[in-house]
Structures are given as structure tokens and as C-alpha cells.
Amino acid sequence: MTNAPMIDVREATKKYDDGPPALAGVNLSVASGDCVAILGHSGSGKSTLLNLIAGLDKPSSGSVTVDGTRVDQLGEAGSAKYRRASIGMIFQFFNLLDDLTVLDNVMVPAQLAGMGKGEAKRRAVELLGSLGIERHVKAYPQRLSGGERQRVAVARALMNKPALLLADEPTGALDSSSVEDVRRLLLDLNAEGQTIVLVTHDVQLAATTAHRTIELVDGAVARDVVNSGSGAGLAAAQARR
Amino acid sequence: MSALGKVVRSGVGRRRVQTLVMALTTFTAVLSSVLSLGLLTAVQAPFEHAFTTRDGAHLAVQFDGSKVTAVQTTATAHVAGVTEAAGPYPIAAALDTTVGTDCPKTDWAGHDNHPITVTTRPDLGSTSGMDQLVLTQGRWPTSPGEIALPANNYADACFGSSVVFSSLPGKPSFKVVGFADSVTNSATGFATADGFARLTTAGATTDEQMLYRFARAGTDADIATDKQAVAAAVPAGAVEDGQSYLTAEQQATGNAKAFVPFLIAFGILGLVLSVLIIAIVVSGAVASGIRRIGILKSLGFTPSQVARAYTAQAMIPATLGVVLGTVFGNLAAGPILNGASEQLGAASATIPFWVSAVVSLGTLLIVGVTASIPALRAGRMPAVQALVVSRAPKAGRGQTAQRLASRLPLPRAMSLGLAQPFARPARAVLVGAAVLLGTVSVTFAVGLGTAFSKYQATTMSSGFNVASDIVIPTADVGAPWGLYGPNDPRHAYLDATKVAAALAKVPGTKAAFGWGDSGATLVGAPIGGEPPVLYTVSGDFSWTNMQLLSGRWYSAPGEAVVGDKLASAVGIRVGDDVTVVQQNKQVSLKVVGINFDTHGSDYTAMTDAATFTAAGLTPRIDQFNVELASNANGTDWSTAATAALTPLNASVQSNSSDTNLLVIIMGTLVAMFTLMLTVVAALGVLSMVVQDTRERVHDLGIFKALGMTPRQTVAMVLTSVALTGLIAGLVGVPLGVVVEKATQAPMGHAIGRHLPPSVTHVYTAGLLLPLLAAGVVIALLGALLPAGWAARSRTATALRAE
């Protein structure tokens, strides 16, 4: 096992047009198995940073390396294959496809990656079962609650066994009971060794889910602290012992 | 600029592709409509005007002067159905003429001038009564030595010189003092009574001509019935000939009118496509701009202003298309109309202004109504609903299709695309309709183009035009074609028997036949238009692929085969007898077949040379067409043939055939319209897929976030139109075939021909199978660009789009 970080962002700057940069020389290093929360107000650059890590956008300068891959140097097809293989994403509004069943939604990433239909189905059912929503396999997303939809999104994100799970405001559209539901899910995943980057403006969620919180202000890292009392922090501490 | 104006301008600016599509489709529709309607009226109008103002005769009947009295012919004016009659007038039909040697233009002096049918009337320049003759140059003849001819029956450059009746004893000569004509070509030479008497004295056979107008004369069948009624009123066999005004009309308008059927078809296709595209674009603009409509209404725009804003966004490009289509339609009509107008002596060949006005205003009205329907819907939409409504398809649509598609053994990107049309079925139907019209256009055009090619091939590469090598009299080598008429003693002919024997001995000769214009006239053949020709033929021509439409080829002396155009014009059928006259000797021939012959003249017939020999007439052969054996060396054969033929005053020449300009112009127009309609159809698909892609941009973002590659994205978008394209193609091909068949018959009728199966049967399996893929190809071509845009769209931006 090497000591190379899972995510290594160096002097990443992102500029749009002539305005101030969305990101200004951000440095970030995330170790494998960590759960890191990126905190910030609207427009602070946290989603931009997430997009750079996911290969959805490219930095104007600087580098983004994930699991040994220079993401900022990938072309369109390369980025797609990178996301397929290394990244799982969950979003505030779930981004499920309304005209596909829950099962089909979860299977899509594996099928795009060329996995056989039978194998993809087996894996999807297994994942949905482990997330406690196997009874909804034939349902369409609109018929599920917010928490259930986010679980489906998580199942879909984990379908290709990604090295990194990126969560963009995963509780932003949920009621309080569902927020707790998703928070526990993320803690469990991290406890199983899943590296997670969580983008949120919810200080409480960041403090209780991630073992480390990075706060962005105007595109720059303003604070980088370890949440020793968080569930993830405790789990990480236990794992380190 | 007003607020409304700014909204319209920004709408047009934001939808550049759709704006271009609307302009192009309207341009196509208007161009073809102006051309078709313009040609129809411009070609038809001069004849109809002249026929009406000059009180043209529906039928000019020629009676055999030896079988009927003047009293009997006059009495036919009272036959049932006759509403007006004139005559009898003396007439001498189809007299050979040459240009007099006094013509100052040496190129024309003594040149063959084709046969002329001469008549005389008490007052040639009468401006009342039936079939008023019109003088276009010079004056009417006033002395026995003068004559007036139609302008196209005598060389302009020789006006004022003489015309010589070369086949009459003594060769009487007349000074051409005027150019004049009958609108229905009842005669082609007009002399004083004394002048006509000179022809009679010189030996011309004189008959009597009566002119009639009938209560029912709209069709060939009506005219045939009328003619029968007249014939029944006189002794049997007294009616020699009946000239129908419909034949004269066809002669005057035929070539230009042949354009009308297919231009009408393209005009209708263009107009339907135009309406469809405008409905697609404006509905799409409304559907994708619902939020914008809500904002406009919240800012104080009235429903009427919103409706006008969206209607105007369609009317601006449509108006541009209408203006350009009208201008180009008028410009393109010029060359086509020139021929027809010259024949009728019309001053100019332009499309009437009202045609441009009606087509332009009519198209704008249709576009306006089409655009205003979705625009009014936008105007009536409540502002709150407009602001909150989502652009995404309603949930639930297409779920079954997605479930079924996911079971197909296809890559997931393709199965996702395959189900997409079911999420928006109305849109899929519009895409399908655009592709359908495109496929109909392509199928129709390919069929028509193939028919044109076959017609060209049949015309230029078979029958009398076949063979790469021909043999002609040495005297004709380098001489202007038609220098001497067939009855002119200076015309050189071949000794058919000797030439055939010599050719048979030349190594490499596989087959040969000789033929020539006999110089004989056919009693009853049309007087106007191109002079009728009776070919005398020697030898076997079965290898020439000459087309027989009905009956059989002649097999014995006394039998003849008549060309389809002559048969149609005169009403000749298999089994009829026709009378042929050569230099005052006549023979009756039995018609045993109708053939399709476009060589040389409109009106043709052919018989074996032995028929003439047996009847005491002179068969005339001035060309042999030779087929070489497949292993023969052309140069060696030519050398050997030249050596064998030179002593017979015959020379070997390579055969050359001219291309048919009319067919080339038609082919060009068909190709142009097909290209435009196909492009418009593909642009219609493009417009819909662009709109669909914009509305699904969020879903595309999700797919790309999940790892969909650009190639997979392209595959998904292309597959989303492939099924629609396939179905539209399968429906469009048979419809295209129907349109082609419906167009072909009137086109053939316009040029007075019955087209043979070798020309009309164009849709072979080899042609149809690729055409079935046309729908998919059009759909894919239309979707290719937006698929590329979808593949290149920024995922992060797409994910933010809601």
C-alpha cells in the first residue's frame, strides 16, 4: 500500500469569463478511506471543486489527481470512463431518471460500462437490498420518498464499486428524518472503507458525518479542521488504532 | 424598437437554425408552386386567349373532293352537336416546298422547306367568323403569285423571296408577302383564290375543308365522337382528315406543360412540409419557452401581444422564403417558357403577376394560420402556470417503452435512445411526418429521374439512333442536314441492296439495317407542328430494341407501324388503314402496330421498303445502322467497310446522338427540388432533435455523470430517431411510388406520348431496397449535428439545468 493520497488537488484555479475566480489556488489532499466535508456558502466554490474532482469540469490552472489519474488531463471519453470506473456521485435532487424503474436506474452505470445485463441486475438487487429498498426495484422514482430516492441514488453511485463517492448536498432536499437516514448511510459506507467527499452548507451535517471539514470562502480554503467528535472521525480514529 | 419588437427579434436570434429551416422550406414550397402554377397558366393562357379571340375551330375536317359535293359538306353544319361551322374552303394538303433560289441568304436558297397545306378563303384577313387568320408580318396576298405562310414555316431571312412547290409539275413559285397563321393550324399556306387555282392547275389534289365548333369538345374522346357524327353525314370514305384543336394546343404547349405535373407534386410536397416545419418550430418555441411566456405575461404583455410575438417569429423567415421563392420562381420559368411563347408568337414569356401574388399571399396566409395556432395557445396560457410548469416530459410517459427497450439485446445507450420517442409521442409523429415527406420526395424523385434516364436512353440509344457506326451517302458527308428534301432529286440515297450485301461481307458486321425518310405524306396527319415522316426500312432491325406499344411489327408488304404520337393525334388504332401519298401516287397501308419512336419527328410511321416497291412507289434509304460483333475491332472494321462501300458512294461515319435538353432541364429541376426537400426534411428532424436535446439536457448531464461517453451519447441521440425514421421510410416509399406513377402519366400525356413499360417501370428491387433506408438516413442526417452537440455539452452545466 502506497502513501499517495486518493485525491490530490494542487493550486487548482477555475475562472469563468472575466469575473473573480470560482476557485483560487486550492490545495487539497484526501487520503483513501477518509470522509471529508467541504463546507461553504452559495458561490464559495465548493461545487466547482467537486466538479473538478469528478472530471465534470477542468481547472483553468493547477492539477487534479484522483487515485493516480490526472483528471484534468483527460479528454471527454477519458473523463467518462474515469467517472464510470472511479467515481460515484449523489446529488441534492437525486438526479434519478424518472422514466426508468429503480432497478434500471441503478443498473445504468454498470451497463454503460459494458457489464452484462444479468450480472448488473444481480449487483443492483444486492445493493438495493443492502440499502433496505429492495422492495422498490420495480417502482419508478417519483413514487418514492426523498430519503428512499437518495438511497437509490447511492445504490446507483456504488454500482461500479467506485474508489471515491462524491456527495453534492445529499441532504439538501430532504426532511429531517431522511437527513439522519442519509447521514447514517454515509457513515456506514465510510466505516466500510469508502472514501467520501461531501459538499454541503450544513455545518451540523459536516461536523457529524466527516472526520475533516474544509471550509471554502470566495474560492479559497479558509479552514481545514479535523472533526474528532464526528461519527466518521471516531470510526477513522478506531481504524487508525 | 417596441418591447414586442425586441421579443420577436430576440426569439428569431435565439433560434437561428429553426429560422433558417422555416425560410428554406417556405422558399422551396413557393419556388415550386410559382413555377408549376406559373407554367400552367403562362403556357396555357396564350393558346386559350388566341383560341377564344380568334374563334378557333374545334375541328377542321378535310373531305375528299372526289367523294363529296359542296352541298353535302355544307350540310354537315347542321349535324347534331355542331354549334358553329364555316366553309367549305378548298384545300391542298401537304405539298412539298423548297425555299426559292431568290432568297438572299445562300444558306437557305433552294433548301428544303417541308410540306405546306394551302387553302384560300374569300377574305383571308377577316376579323369575324371562325378561325380568324392573323397576320404577324407583311400583308395578305393580293395577286395569284403571292402567298402568306406561318412564320415557323419559312425562313425569316428569306421573307419577301419565293417558296417553290417542288413536287408539282412545273414547280409553281409564290412570293411570300406575309407571315400568317391559324391558331389551330387548319392550314399552313394562304393564297388568293387565283393563287390557289395555280396549284390546282399545276396538279395539286384539291379537297374541301369545313371548320366546326361543337357543344362538347373538351377531350379527345369528345372530338372523336364529333368527327364520327360529321363523317356519318357524308358518303363513306369522304372524310380524309380531322384536325383537332387539342392537337394544336399540345403542339403549342407540350414541352412546357410536361413540367407542370411534377412541379405540382413538388409544390404540394413543399407546402405540406412547410406547414409541418412551421408547426414544429413554432410549437417547439412555445413548448420550450413556456417559462419565458410566463415572464412576459408577468411583465404586462397581453395574450394578443404574446400570440403576435410567436406568430411573427415564424412570419419573418417565412416572408423571406416567400420573397426569394417568388423571385427565383419567376427567373427559372423564363427559359422554360421561351419555347412555348415563340410558337404562339406571344410577346413575352413571363409568369402572370397574379400567380406570384396568389402563391405569395396564399403561402403567407397558410404559414400565419399554422403559426398562430400554437402562438394563441401561448397567449392564452395563464402566467402562473407558465412560470411553474416544467419543460421536462410529464412523468410516466415512455416508462413502458423504456422497460421494454431495456430488455432488448442492445447496448444500453441505444436501448435508452430507442424508447425516447415514446416519452413525447406527438413530437415523434412530427419527426416521422418530416421524414415521411422527405422519403416521399426522394422516392418520387429517384423514380422520376430514372424514368428520365430511361426515356433519354430509349430516345437516344435505341431504334434509329442505335449503333456506333452508320453508313450514309458520301455526298451527305459534311453537308448540312436537311439541305434537300426527301423528294428533291438532288437528295442522295443509298443503293440499299448493294450496301447491305457489301456490309454483310465486311468481317465484324453482326447486323445492319437501312432506312430513310420516304418523302411520302400521310393523309390526315397533323398539319401543324413537326412534319410527319414515313420511314422506309430495309433489313432486320430487331436488334435495335425499338419499342412496340401494341400490335406487332410489320411482316408483309402493305403493313405499317405508326408512332404513338401520330396515332394519338389522329386517332389511329391497330387494324386501321392509312393512306400514304408520294409525289401524287398513293397507297393504303394496314396499321399492324403502334411503336414508341422519338427519333427525328413527332409524327412518324414506318414500313418495309418492299411495301413501296410493290406499290410502285420509291423506297428511300439514306442511312444504314450497323451493329458490330462483340469481338470486332472498330478501326479494322471501319477500314474494311470504307474499302467496300466507297465504290457504292457510301461512307462510314461514327454515330452521334444529341442529348435531350428538355430531359436535362427536367432532371436538373427534379434534383434541385429533391435536394431542397430532403435538406428541409432533415432540418426539420434537426430542429426537433435540437429542441429535444435542449429539454433533455439535464438527463444528458446525469448520463454523462454516470459515465456515458461521447460516442454513447451520439449513439443514444441517433437511436432516438432511427425507429421513427425507419417507420416513416417504410410508409414513405410506397407513397413516393404512388406520387411518381400519378405524375408520369400526365407528363407523357402533355408531350402527347404513351410511354412504354421500359420507361415507366422504374422501381426495381435494386432501387426500392436502398430507398427503404432513405427514412433512416434522413432521420440520422438530421440528428447527427444535435447528437454531436449533446455529446459535447458540459456536464456540470447540464446538471444544473432544471
Give me the pLDDT at residue B675, please.
83
- Answer yes or no: is pLDDT of B347 > 60: no
Higher-confidence position of A1 and A113: A113
Give me the pLDDT at residue B60, please.
93
Nearest chain A residue (CA) to B398: A99
Q: Which of B699, B708, B796 sits opposite A51 (nearest CB)?
A: B796
pLDDT tens digits, one per residue of A11-30: 999 998 778 899 999 999 99
Higher-confidence position of B164 and A229: B164
First to last CA, chain A: 17
Q: Which residues contact B235 (CB under 8 A, 6 or more apart)?
A: B67, B68, B72
- In angstroms, the Cα distances linking B499 to B505, B645, B738 are 10, 7, 50
Give me the pLDDT at residue B342, please.
52
d(CA A54, CA A64): 10
Residue type at B38 in one-letter notation = G
- Distance, in angstroms, between B377 CA and closest chain A CA? 27
Tell the burial category of B68 from Cβ atoms under 10 Å away from its Cβ (0-12, 13-18, 19+): buried
Of A200, A198, A181, A199, the C-alpha closest to A232 is A198
In this prediction, residues B238-259 reach a mean pLDDT of 81
Tell the burial category of B449 from Cβ atoms under 10 Å away from its Cβ (0-12, 13-18, 19+): middle
Q: Do A54 and B705 touch (CB under 8 A)?
A: yes
Q: Do A160 and B707 touch (CB under 8 A)?
A: yes
- Distance, in angstroms, between B699 CA and closest chain A CA? 7
pLDDT tens digits, one per residue of B576-601: 998 888 877 888 999 999 998 777 67
- Answer yes or no: is pLDDT of B191 > 80: yes
Angle in degrees, CA B257, B259, B261, rounded to 5: 90
Tell the burial category of B732 from Cβ atoms under 10 Å away from its Cβ (0-12, 13-18, 19+): buried
Q: Domains plus CATH for chain A?
A: 7-240 (3.40.50.300)
pLDDT tens digits, one per residue of B132-148: 999 989 999 999 999 99
Q: C-alpha grid cell for residue B338?
A: 421561351
- Answer yes or no: is pLDDT of B523 > 90: no
- Answer yes or no: is pLDDT of B25 > 50: yes
Q: How many CB atoms lie within 10 A of CB B271?
A: 22
Contacts of B711 in chain A (CB under 8 A): 77
Of B211, B170, B175, B168, the C-alpha closest to B195 is B175
d(CA B544, CA B558): 22
pLDDT tens digits, one per residue of B72-89: 999 999 999 999 999 899
Q: Do B705 and A85 touch (CB under 8 A)?
A: no
Of B204, B100, B230, B200, the C-alpha closest to B157 is B100
B155: confidence class by pLDDT, cuts 50, 70, 90: confident
d(CA A80, CA A112): 10
Q: How many CB atoms lie within 10 A of CB B552?
A: 11
pLDDT tens digits, one per residue of B783-802: 999 899 888 887 777 776 54
Beta bridge partner(s), residue B272: none
d(CA B465, CA B459): 8
Mutation target among A91, A112, A121, A164 for the B interface, most CBs of B within 10 A: A112
Give me the pLDDT at residue B284, please.
74
Q: Do B802 and A93 touch (CB under 8 A)?
A: yes
User: Taking the mean position of all CA atoms in its chain, how far away is CA A50?
Assistant: 8
Q: Which of A83, A85, A112 sits opposite B712 (nearest CB)?
A: A112
Q: Do B703 and A108 touch (CB under 8 A)?
A: yes
Contacts of B709 in chain A (CB under 8 A): 76-77, 80-81, 112
Of B703, B397, B399, the C-alpha closest to A156 is B703
- Inter-helix orientation angle A117-130/A102-112, to 10°: 130
Give me the pLDDT at residue B396, please.
59
Q: Which of A84, A100, A113 sits opposite B402 (nearest CB)?
A: A100
HSE-up of residue B208 (Cα within 13 Å, Cβ side): 21
Beta bridge partner(s), residue B242: B61
B88 preceded by cis ω (within 30°)?
Answer: yes
d(CA B458, CA B547): 8
Q: Do B707 and A81 touch (CB under 8 A)?
A: yes
Q: Which of A80, A91, A96 sits opposite B707 (nearest CB)?
A: A80
Q: Which of residues 113-172 of A touch B (CB under 8 A)?
A: 113, 140, 142, 156, 160
Q: Number of Cβ pairs closer than 8 Å across A and B?
A: 89
Give me the pLDDT at residue A231, please.
55
Q: What is the percent of chain B with per-residue pLDDT over 70, rounded to a whole number?
A: 91
Mutation target among B400, B407, B412 for the A interface, most CBs of A within 10 A: B412
Beta bridge partner(s), residue A63: A10
- Inter-helix orientation angle B16-53/B303-344, to 10°: 40
HSE-up of residue B363 (Cα within 13 Å, Cβ side): 38
- Per-state percent for chain A, helix, strand, coil, to nearest 5: 40, 25, 35
Q: C-alpha grid cell for residue B795?
A: 456536464
- Could you give phi then psi for residue A158, rounded to 5 degrees? -90, 0
Of A10, A197, A186, A169, the C-alpha closest to A87 is A197
A169 neighbors A50 (Cβ within 8 angstroms): no
d(CA B368, CA B728): 27
Instruction: Name the strand (E) or helix (H) holding A195.
Output: strand A195-200
B138 neighbors B188 (Cβ within 8 angstroms): no
Question: Is B700 in CB contact (< 8 Å) with chain A?
Answer: no
Q: Are strands B207-214 and A220-226 parallel, antiparallel or unpaired?
A: unpaired
Q: Do A81 and B709 touch (CB under 8 A)?
A: yes
pLDDT tens digits, one per residue of B287-325: 766 767 777 777 777 888 888 888 888 888 889 989 999
Q: C-alpha grid cell for residue B208?
A: 374541301
Q: Which of residues 209-238 of A touch B (CB under 8 A)?
A: none
Q: Which residue has the cell 454500482?
A: A159
Question: Is B710 in CB contact (< 8 Å) with chain A?
Answer: yes
Q: Do A140 and B399 touch (CB under 8 A)?
A: yes
- Distance, in angstroms, between B712 CA and closest chain A CA? 8
First to last CA, chain B: 32
ipTM over 0.85: no
pLDDT tens digits, one per residue of B546-582: 888 999 999 999 999 999 888 888 888 999 998 888 8
Residue type at B539 in one-letter notation = G
- Distance, in angstroms, between A210 CA and closest chain B CA? 24
- Answer yes or no: is pLDDT of B378 > 90: no
pLDDT tens digits, one per residue of B106-116: 777 888 888 88
